[in-house]
Structure 1
Amino acid sequence: MEKISFFFSAIWDTILIKHQEGIFNTICLAVLLGLPLLVILTLLFICCHCCWSRPGKSSQQPERNKKKKKKKKDEEDLWISAQPKLLQMEKRPSLPV
């Protein structure tokens, strides 16, 4: 228990010494001590957001699959054919030889 209190006492003494040395040291110390807290809060927020925003398993899943299949059947073919390239080549003037 003494080691723990000595550790925190040493940290507090360091904070006081840096504060007495100047405002710049105080700001730097606050940023360095605040960054780990900010990282922990950010990770906690991300984990909670991911856990709570998961879609629940319900009876609507089969309907979603049906909708996806319908969309795939109704989609147009998006392949680009080679025919427009041939038309573009015909329109270009030939170079004199």
Structure 2
Amino acid sequence: MEKVGSFFSDIWDTILTKHQEGLFNTVCLGVILALPLLLVIALLFVCCYSCWSRPGDGGQRPGRNKGKKKRKRKGEDDLWISAQPKLLPMEKRLSLPV
């Protein structure tokens, strides 16, 4: 316990020494000491955001309806790329003079 108290006492002495040396040292020391706290806050925010903002449909789990397929709406195109692409008719292709 004495070593922990000594450690924080040494840190406080360093802070006071740097503060007495000038304003620039105080600002730099404040930024350096604030970076770990800012990192912890950012990690906490990212973790909470990723846990609570998962897309859901009314609280249902995504694995419940695996056997059911969605019905296609009218006018909804199939976005899969087919194995054989559709070719343009010859009349619609631009031709260059030879």
Per the normalisation by structure 2, the TM-score is 0.69
One-letter code of the match for 2:13? D
Provide the aligned length of Structure 1 versus Structure 2: 87
Map 1:1-97 → 2, pairs under 5 A: 1-54=1-54, 55=56, 56-57=59-60, 62=65, 66-67=69-70, 69-70=71-72, 74-75=76-77, 81-83=86-88, 87-88=93-94, 90=95, 92-94=96-98
Aligned partners of 2:89 and 2:45: how far apart in 1?
52
Structure with higher helix content: 1
C-alpha root-mean-square deviation of aligned residues, in Å? 3.1
One-letter code of the match for 2:5? S
Aligned partners of 2:25 and 2:10: how far apart in 1?
17
Q: CA deviation at 1:84?
A: 6.7
Q: CA deviation at 1:93?
A: 2.1
Identity %: 50
Aligned partners of 1:51 and 1:42: how far apart in 2?
14
Structure 2 unpaired stretches of 5+: none
Q: CA deviation at 1:74?
A: 3.0
The runs of at least 4 consecutive aligned structure 1 residues that moved more than 2 Å come to 54-58, 76-86
Structure 1 unpaired stretches of 5+: none
Q: CA 1:26–1:84 in structure 2 vs 1: closer, same or farther (change >3 Å)? A: farther
Per the normalisation by structure 1, the TM-score is 0.70
Aligned partners of 1:84 and 1:18: how far apart in 2?
79
Q: CA deviation at 1:16?
A: 0.3
